[in-house]
Amino acid sequence: MCLVGLHMQTMAGIDYITSKAAGADEEPLATSIVSAGRYDGEAQDPESLIYSGQGGNADKNKQASDQKLERGNLALERSLRKGNGVRVIRGEEDPASKTGKIYIYDGLYTISESWVEKGKSGCNTFKYRLVRVPGQPPAFGFWKAVHKWKEGLMTPRRGLILPDITSGVESKPVSLVNDFDDEKGPSYFTYISTLKHTEAFRITQQHPATGCSCRGLCAPDELPEEFNLPAPLLISAKNFGNVARFMNHSCSPNVLWQPVICEGNGEPVVHIAFFAIRHIPPMAELTYDYGVSLTSEARDGSLLHGKRQCNCGSVKCRGSFG
């Protein structure tokens, strides 16, 4: 039986733990690194990273020195030998940020090699090549792809039908893409940013609003969550609509829809609003659950299979929808 002690330390962008087995010396292992994004080639490849070791910075007399194989550098060397995963956070310049920089968690990497080279100061610097573990959802790669799209550096996306379905209505262009089949979208469709109501209708509250009658500072009125919606109510995006018209079905969606009450021409009207269920990375497809139909045979109210075949590819796919 042996006893093992663990201690976590952080040094210059390298987090590592030290373990000590009975009768053995302490051994550091790297657990995560923060890439500042200042080094040549370091933040360009989304699948690999060249990371410079710590230490060797100029002292108060502006004298640089060789980096030493200790602490964080030693932890990276031990992780190279052990092959353990290292979490990587990448730094990127972002003018929209108050600090001018953001940090993106990019998943697990393994260290494939290390070497020593002369830095700009003429002193020895440790270099480590880290390779992203396959099969992880893209993170930093998405971020770089988005900026290439914005700068016009990427070739047109496969399956691109229209560069901007809004025809300039929105401040940012919204591309219409179909990389699944040969369908080119609706033959007649007009993009609109506001709802068109064929007739006015009133929404009555099931319960009156309650609130305080005082004239001073108090909590706001409590508004009921349930309304009597007019029935039947049809919201159609066949000929007119916005970007939500082109959101596909998924049995494991990342977006949900809810009816919300808005004011239109002094009257309450119904809008359908979409909300993110979880974090959605850039360039990820937005999907919601179209649901399935109820038939007269389903007297118990159970959901039946839909009329259309589902191709969402989710592990929870029902096989059909609609």
Binning the chain into helix, strand and coil, the percentages to the nearest 5 are 10, 35, 60
DSSP state of 163: S
- What's the average model confidence in pLDDT over 182-197? 80
Residue 285's pLDDT is what?
84
For residue 9, is pLDDT > 50? Answer: no
3-class DSSP assignment, residue 144: helix
User: How far apart are the C-alpha atoms of 309 and 132, rounded to whole Å?
Assistant: 36
Question: Which regions of the chain carry the CATH code 2.30.280.10?
Answer: 4-145
pLDDT in tens, 27-43: 889 999 998 765 544 45
Q: Considering only 152-156, 188-192, 195-199, 244-248, which range has the smallest mean pLDDT?
A: 152-156
pLDDT band per the 50, 70, 90 thresholds, residue 218: very low
pLDDT band per the 50, 70, 90 thresholds, residue 2: very low
Q: Given CATH 2.30.280.10, say whether it is the number of domain 4-145.
A: yes
Question: Which regions of the chain carry the CATH code 2.170.270.10?
Answer: 156-206+218-289
pLDDT in tens, 253-311: 999 988 887 776 777 777 888 999 988 876 678 999 988 765 544 445 555 556 788 88
For residue 189, is pLDDT > 60? Answer: yes
pLDDT band per the 50, 70, 90 thresholds, residue 89: very high
For residue 130, is pLDDT > 90? Answer: yes
What are the DSSP E strand ranges found in 62-166?
A: 86-93, 101-118, 124-132, 160-162
For residue 219, is pLDDT > 60? Answer: no
With pLDDT > 90 as the criterion, what percentage of the chain qualifies? 20
The superfamily (CATH) of domain 156-206+218-289 is SET domain (2.170.270.10)
Q: Considering only 30-34, 51-55, 228-232, 237-241, which range has the smallest mean pLDDT?
A: 228-232
At residue 228, φ and ψ (nearest 5 deg) are -85, 100
Mean residue pLDDT of the chain comes to: 76
- What's the average model confidence in pLDDT over 78-99? 88
Q: Considering only 162-176, 182-196, 208-222, which range has the smallest mean pLDDT?
A: 208-222
What are the DSSP E strand ranges found in the chain?
A: 4-11, 14-21, 27-35, 48-52, 86-93, 101-118, 124-132, 160-162, 176-177, 190-191, 204-205, 227-228, 240-241, 248-249, 255-264, 267-276, 287-288, 308-309, 320-321
pLDDT band per the 50, 70, 90 thresholds, residue 128: very high
Residue 63 to residues 55, 66, 73, Cα–Cα distance (Å) = 12, 10, 20
With pLDDT > 70 as the criterion, what percentage of the chain qualifies? 71
For residue 111, is pLDDT > 90? Answer: yes
Q: What's this model's pTM, rounded to 2 decimal places? A: 0.57
